[in-house]
Structure 1
Amino acid sequence: MSFPRSPRLLKGGVVLVDPTSGAIQRIVALQYNPDSITRTLQAVSMGTESVNRSEATRLKGPPIETVKLEAELDATDLLESGDEPTLQAGLHPQIAALESVVYPTAAQLIAVDALASSGTLEIAPMLAPLTLFIWSQHRIVPVRITEFSVTEEAFDAQLNPIRARLTLGMRVLSVDDLGFNQRGGTLFMAYLQGKERMAARSRGGTLGTLGLTGLP
């Protein structure tokens, strides 16, 4: 039973956007939000590459940010409610939707093969959708999927997976990767500016808190 005043639980997920038109191609919401997300930031500085001491504290650009999470998929509730797609295929549709993030489409592969068969010497790599990782309105970031694994843990009588764990690793794409004029670059700048606004709301400390009356 849900209470009318209980807050609506938001879901994290991945959105695929057409890199040319900006149209949303697919929205993949996580069935259950993970209990934790690991984010790692690696500073991109001049200090380790330059012998010039004046460069030691200079930043070359945004840090390299990576995100890793583990999420669960479970078809139990849908099976109990008689959901027809789940009864027929278990978790296959949800898993396939997530896997589509790292696959080129069949049409793209056929087009590339046709170009190769016709003798085309230079074939451009297939253009993937812009992938956005969304974790509330404060974190909407363009990413590249770097790790994807699925552990299927239980199956129905037709060997359809009905319980699974997903591991997803992502690298945030910044304006260094996408440029300022691309949709992804615009979204990264909005993400960075939002982070700066959040930092401005943080209560600053004092030297007294650190046991100091001044710097030596």
Structure 2
Amino acid sequence: MTTFPGSPRLVKGGIVTMDPDTTALRSVIALQYNPDTLSRTLQIQAVQGAQDGTRVDALRLRGPAVETIKLEAELDATDQLEFPKQNPITVKFGLQPQLAQLEMLVNPTVETLLSDDNLANNGQLEIIPLEQPLTLFVWSKTRVVPVRITDFSITEEAFDPNLNPIRAKVSLGLRVLNIDDIGLAHPGGRMFMSYLTNKQQLASMASSVAISVLGLGGLP
């Protein structure tokens, strides 16, 4: 990494959690190193043909494409361990705090579990589980999307003498939540619409070429 004073500041990708009712921020997690690759898959929501053979307009869409994102993030405590006095938590626990922060994205809190157990013991357990915080995946200011984590794996690659992990890789699979999942009125639904608006605006900036570039003099 260059220390040249004129070098641009690196923007990091990360994950934000917020209260789905008040939209108050709960946590901001920045990836230590931006992944070299990020894969996205869009599943088209086309109108299905009727079972009785009735012709259905093949150009119609039922809704936004279902987008999934996969990435692999690296964590390394080597730099922090070079300065133990400035990083006492890393010296004591290695990468465990950072890994635990990510793991809590897919786990209920102890308080939630105890509360549910007390309600169950009193015969008052709600049928609908308590709502988890809204999770956002941030990959630049034009790509802030509500997501549900669908896959999560950790590979710990190196350890200190106390078996604390000091180098690890985290693989994440994310499912973008669109308005079909959470509705327009939900804060996540509004964020998805903003994400789609940015995509639409970016698409309008791409230039269209002459049809002759495709070897055609015109359309049949």
Do both proteins adopt the same fold according to a TM-score greater than 0.5, normalized to the shorter chain? yes
Matching residue's letter, 1:9: L
Whether 1:158 aligns to 2:162 is: yes
> What SS is found at the alignment partner of 1:181?
coil
- After TM superposition, give the deviation of residue 32 of structure 1 in Å: 0.4
The answer for the alignment partner of 1:28 in structure 2 is 29
Q: Is the 8 A contact 1:66 1:171 kept in 2?
A: yes
Paired positions, count:
216
The answer for the alignment partner of 2:108 in structure 1 is 104
Match of 2:196 among 176, 192, 205: 192
Give the TM-score normalised by structure 2.
Answer: 0.95
The answer for the alignment partner of 1:15 in structure 2 is 16
Match of 2:73 among 51, 54, 71: 71
> What SS is found at the alignment partner of 1:101?
helix
Distance in 2 (CA, whole Å) between partners of 1:129 and 1:43 is 28
Whether 1:3 aligns to 2:4 is: yes
- Percent identical across equivalent pairs? 53
Q: Is the 8 A contact 1:154 1:162 kept in 2?
A: yes
The answer for the alignment partner of 1:123 in structure 2 is 127
Unaligned segments of structure 1, at least 5 residues: none
Give the TM-score normalised by structure 1.
Answer: 0.96
Distance in 1 (CA, whole Å) between partners of 2:217 and 2:131 is 57
- After TM superposition, give the deviation of residue 2 of structure 1 in Å: 1.1
Distance in 1 (CA, whole Å) between partners of 2:27 and 2:125 is 33
Distance in 2 (CA, whole Å) between partners of 1:123 and 1:47 is 33
Distance in 1 (CA, whole Å) between partners of 2:82 and 2:26 is 31
Match of 1:142 among 116, 125, 146: 146
Q: Deviation per CA, 1:154-205, whole angstroms, max 9, x where unpaired?
A: 1001110000011000000001111111100000000000000000000112
> What SS is found at the alignment partner of 2:106?
coil
